[in-house]
């Protein structure tokens, strides 16, 4: 019996064991509803799911190209500040955004680099939470620890993006000042004849 690539991958995962990785360097590239189906199937079996982030919706905490490990919920509801993988109710597409609010059994999710929230997402559409981020082979912790509560609060209030932009300008300004201080006057440090 011949299996599709998806069926073969799912059989290899087994029941709640293993990690499925979806990254360009593994030769498997999925997006859209196919990725949503695979993500939902793998996480519902209790397995971890690794994928390479695409896009800038969670920047600067998750960047394009970062490797994310998504853990299944296993009956535990996501909390404020958690970064959740979910299926958008309107498009059926998978997204990974931060929980910035909760109302009953629905969650308000929003990308850290987004101006608008995704709307209220049913708990049944939330598949898992990002528990590990790797960038260039190193683990990234900032954005997933206790600071996630402050990030979620600032994001929901609409001040996270302006704050990030202001901090970037300050960093750029500090670099410029450092550069200017270390400029040499013309003819300075020239060898003496």
Per-residue model confidence (pLDDT) at position 27: 53
Between 129 and 193, name the one with better pLDDT.
Answer: 129
Nearest of 92, 121, 118, 89 to residue 104 by alpha carbon: 121
Q: Which class does domain 5-181 fall in?
A: mainly beta
pLDDT tier at 13, thresholds 50, 70, 90: very low
Per-residue model confidence (pLDDT) at position 96: 95
Per-residue model confidence (pLDDT) at position 187: 57
3-class SS at 35?
A: helix
Task: Report whether pLDDT(112) > 90.
Answer: yes
Q: Give dist(CA 42, CA 104) in Å, integer.
A: 27
What is the pTM assigned to this prediction? 0.76
The structural domains of the chain, with segments of one domain joined by +, span 5-181
Task: Enumerate residues 6+ apart whose C-beta is below 8 A from 93.
Answer: 32, 33, 36, 87
Task: Report whether pLDDT(190) > 90.
Answer: no
> Could you tell me the two tokens for 42?
């793998």
Chain segment 88-102, per-residue pLDDT in tens: 988 888 999 999 999
Chain segment 138-150, per-residue pLDDT in tens: 999 999 999 999 9
- Under 8 Å between Cβ of 42 and 49: yes
């Amino acid at each position: 019996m011949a299996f599709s690539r998806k069926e073969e991958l799912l059989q290899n995962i087994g029941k709640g064991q293993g990690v499925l990785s979806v990254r360009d360097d593994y030769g498997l590239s999925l997006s859209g509803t196919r990725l949503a189906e695979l993500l939902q199937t793998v996480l519902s079996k209790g397995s971890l799911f690794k994928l390479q982030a695409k896009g800038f919706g969670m920047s600067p905490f998750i960047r394009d190209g970062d490797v994310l490990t998504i853990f299944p919920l296993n009956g535990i509801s996501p909390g404020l500040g958690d970064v959740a993988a979910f299926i958008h109710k309107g498009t059926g597409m998978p997204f990974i955004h931060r929980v910035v609010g909760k109302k009953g059994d629905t969650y308000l999710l929003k990308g850290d680099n987004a101006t608008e929230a995704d709307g209220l997402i049913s708990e049944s559409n939330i598949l898992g939470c990002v528990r590990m981020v790797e960038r260039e082979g190193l683990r990234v912790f900032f954005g997933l620890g206790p600071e996630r509560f402050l990030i979620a609060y600032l994001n929901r209030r609409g001040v996270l993006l302006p704050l990030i932009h202001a901090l970037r300008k300050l960093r750029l300004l500090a670099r410029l000042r450092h550069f200017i201080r270390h400029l040499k006057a013309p003819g300075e440090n020239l060898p003496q004849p």
